[in-house]
């Protein structure tokens, strides 16, 4: 398993985008299948967001102050995704707004992933040494074990509530 922080996060992105494609390819009436795909999307996003919000973003903000604006924008984009995930988590897939809400989630997360991979990660790789990225990655691999997997778990929910009320 790689311990380069950027490689780890990119692998997550790949898995998430695979699920997005599966959702988009599922038929209009594939309600059960789409419900299951969205469950998996929420789980992967909850873990990934936890690793970025609790480890990657604060560390980069600390080590590379020039990237502060990018980090703050990322927090806001994750906040939007958190709200949508929390709502989808409580919804039945046959509800009228389920597909629409998922589509908005997919659009906004796809945009965010593109920004990270095309603009932010290259700057981070330039600013941090190979060793620092490996240390960060090793910490994230460890944090993954205890990461929340659903918006209903206290550590994940707290984030969403903080984001809404904060
Ligand atoms: Fe992110
Ligand atoms: Fe990410």
Distance 55 CA to ligand 1 centre (A): 11
pTM exceeds 0.85 for this model? yes
Distance 11 CA to ligand 2 centre (A): 9
Q: Got the DSSP string for the chain? A: ----HHHHHHHHHHHHHHHHHHHHHS-TT-HHHHHHHHHHHHHHHHHHHHHIIIIIHHHHHHH-GGGHHHHHHHHHHHHHHHHHHHHHHTS-TTSTTHHHHHHHHHHHHHHHHHHIIIIIHHHHHHHS-HHHHHHHHHHHHHHHHT---STTSHHHHHHHHHHHH-
Distance 47 CA to ligand 1 centre (A): 11
pLDDT at residue 60, rounded to an integer: 96
Whole-angstrom distance, CA of residue 89 vs CA of residue 151: 7
Q: Would you say 59 and 136 are in contact if contact means Cβ atoms under 8 Å apart?
A: yes
pLDDT at residue 128, rounded to an integer: 96
pLDDT at residue 157, rounded to an integer: 60
Distance 99 CA to ligand 2 centre (A): 23
pLDDT at residue 2, rounded to an integer: 77
User: Which residues are CB-neighbours of 142 under 8 A, at least 6 positions away?
Assistant: none
Distance 90 CA to ligand 1 centre (A): 23
Averages of pLDDT over runs of 10 residues in the chain (166 residues) are 92 98 95 98 98 96 96 96 97 97 98 97 96 97 95 72 61
Q: Would you say 13 and 105 are in contact if contact means Cβ atoms under 8 Å apart?
A: no
Query: pLDDT tens digits, residue range 35-52?
Result: 999 999 999 999 999 999
Distance 70 CA to ligand 2 centre (A): 13
């Amino acid at each position: 398993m790689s311990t380069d922080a950027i490689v780890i996060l990119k692998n997550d992105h790949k898995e998430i985008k695979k699920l997005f494609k599966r959702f988009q390819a599922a038929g209009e009436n594939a309600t059960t299948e789409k419900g299951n795909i969205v469950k998996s999307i929420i789980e992967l996003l909850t873990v990934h967001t936890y690793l970025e919000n609790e480890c990657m973003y604060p560390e980069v903000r600390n080590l590379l102050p020039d990237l502060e604006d990018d980090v703050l924008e990322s927090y806001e984009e994750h906040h939007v995704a958190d709200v949508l995930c929390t709502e989808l988590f409580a919804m039945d897939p046959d509800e009228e707004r389920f597909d629409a809400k998922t589509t908005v989630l997919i659009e906004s997360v796809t945009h965010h992933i593109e920004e990270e991979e095309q603009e932010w990660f290259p700057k981070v790789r330039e600013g941090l040494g190979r060793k620092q990225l490996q240390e960060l990655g090793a910490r994230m691999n460890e944090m993954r074990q205890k990461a929340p997997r659903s918006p209903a778990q206290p550590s994940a929910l707290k984030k969403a509530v903080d984001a809404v009320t904060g």
